[in-house]
Amino acid sequence: MLTFAAAIFFLIITPGPGVLSAAGVSAAFGMRAGLRYVLGLMIGNAAVMLAVITGLAALILASPVIRTVLMVASTLYLLYLAARIALAGSKIAFIDAEKEPGILGGFLLQPINPKAYVVNTFLFANFPIYPDAYVTEVVIKALVFNAIWLPLHVLWVWFGSALRRLNLPDRQQRAINVAMAVSMLIVVALAFAAQGG
């Protein structure tokens, strides 16, 4: 169980579309908006988790066309987000939008988020806890997963909100923006590498 919990922690704490966009919503619109967005991410992730557990994700993702559509949609989103970060200039901003994304925005990200499928598939297909009691294992894994997932996403929201309140010199703020943009591009590159492999 400890190994499973550690795997969840390290898979979720690393920057991906969900946590980076949660920090971005918080940086752009404040803590409350970030928390509403995370609620949407959590509902969306529950849908992805259910699709993985039931095998529906494997069935859907077996289609090269659907896989390609999801990869293109997520790549375009990540490239857009990276551009917005890098071009934010001297203000710290992960995203620039006129209206906060809210719960629906968070929910809609998860079905096109390749990391959500990879993480859920990896965690639910590995780390046997009760090999002879599948339903019990799935319930326990889902509870442990969410007990770690939620605080880590709230931590990223807090991080975005804290960055919003900082009054850093322009040079440091630009460096943060560029570093965040580069991390998003690395996510895109890794996704393409995984797709090619």
Q: pLDDT tens for residues 135-191? A: 999 999 999 999 999 999 999 999 888 877 776 677 776 776 677 667 667 766 765
pLDDT tens digit sequence for 37-88: 999 999 999 999 999 999 988 887 788 888 788 778 777 776 776 676 666 5
d(CA 138, CA 70) in angstroms, rounded, equals 26
**Who wins on pLDDT, 93 or 78?**
78
CB 112 within 8 A of CB 71: no
Query: What band does 26 get if pLDDT is binned at 50, 70 and 90?
Result: confident
Question: Model-level pTM?
Answer: 0.75
